[in-house]
Amino acid sequence: GAGVSQTPSNKVTEKGKYVELRCDPISGHTALYWYRQSLGQGPEFLIYFQGTGAADDSGLPNDRFFAVRPEGSVSTLKIQRTERGDSAVYLCASSLYDRRAFFGQGTRLTVV
């Protein structure tokens, strides 16, 4: 597609449930990033993929968070046993070698 696509755009889930957020990067972009943005804050890095492998997952807050990119294109961010503090906008971005990242519209996750 023309840009980074994220689905769903909004997700409301109950505390303790499992959620999956999907990111479809710009075609041909080998690098993919997940960020989390809380209200009034800048995006906070979660994880970076180069191809299929997670090259840097130092931003994942705890082991409830996991992300995959099995074929080097679409990525899924998975959150287990969701907590109210997980509520935020989850942004996906992709880039070529110049590292200029293009961001998707985000998934607004609300944990009630």
Using CB under 8 A, list all residues that contact another protein: 4, 31, 33, 35, 40-45, 48, 50, 55-56, 58-59, 91, 93, 98-106
* Nearer of residues 11 and 14 to another protein, judged by Cβ: 11
Contact by Cβ (8 Å): 67, 75: yes
To the nearest whole angstrom, how small is the minimum distance from the Cβ of residue 45 to another protein?
4
To the nearest whole angstrom, how small is the minimum distance from the Cβ of residue 64 to another protein?
20
Contact by Cβ (8 Å): 102, 4: yes
Calpha distance 111→89 (Å, rounded): 12
To the nearest whole angstrom, how small is the minimum distance from the Cβ of residue 58 to another protein?
7
Calpha distance 43→37 (Å, rounded): 4
To the nearest whole angstrom, how small is the minimum distance from the Cβ of residue 81 to another protein?
25
* Nearer of residues 14 and 99 to another protein, judged by Cβ: 99
* Nearer of residues 9 and 15 to another protein, judged by Cβ: 9
* Nearer of residues 18 and 55 to another protein, judged by Cβ: 55
Eight-state DSSP code of residue 62 = S
Rounded alpha-carbon distances, angstroms, from residue 54 to 12, 14, 48, 74, 87 = 27, 28, 6, 13, 23
